[in-house]
Amino acid sequence: MFKIGEIAKQAGVTTRTLRYYEQLGLFVPSNVSSNGYRYYNDDTLIVITRIRDLQRVGLSLEEIKEVIGLYFHQKRKVEAKEKTLNYLQTHLDDIESKITLLNGVKKELKEQIQSTRSRLLQLKEKGRRNGGFKN
């Protein structure tokens, strides 16, 4: 059994984050002592790691809450994976749309930079021909 500080350190998160996860119902301590200390087991570390992995790929904590419990129930693993797959596909589609939009913005910026460079060179050349460049 681990105290909250110990498991937070092992999971690479803060105790505040763990308390927040608990508040959201993502997991519960394995045991809470009479003095209020929270204790966790190895399974909790696995849950925290899975939460962080799912966050890293774009799932919200609300989405994670829908699937995290299913991962640890043998009969519902398929359901968990299907839901996770749907969320991941949605996030991938969103990212691809953003990339398409950003590629358009990138193209416009490159064109604007080239146009501005050309205009600047013209102005400098005109200034040299007229006896100097005036600001």
Report all structural domains of the chain as residue ranges with CATH numbers, in order of start. Answer: 2-129 (1.10.1660.10)
Q: How far apart are the first and last CA of the chain?
A: 72
Average pLDDT, the chain: 89
For the entire predicted model, the pTM comes to 0.64
Tens digits of per-residue pLDDT, 46-85?
999 999 999 998 889 998 988 887 777 667 778 888 888 8
Query: Does the structure show a pLDDT above 90 at 100?
Result: yes
pLDDT of residue 70: 75
DSSP string, 49-84: HHHHHHHHTT--HHHHHHHHHHHTSGGGHHHHHHHH
Q: At what angle do helices 61-71 and 42-56 cross, to 10 degrees?
A: 140
pLDDT of residue 17: 95
pLDDT of residue 130: 81
Q: What average pLDDT does range 85-92 have in this prediction?
A: 89
pLDDT of residue 74: 62
Looking at this protein, which amino acid is placed at residue 48? I
Q: How far apart are CA 127 and CA 130, in angstroms?
A: 5
- CA 113 vs CA 11, 106, 110, 133: distances in Å: 46, 10, 5, 22
pLDDT of residue 21: 94
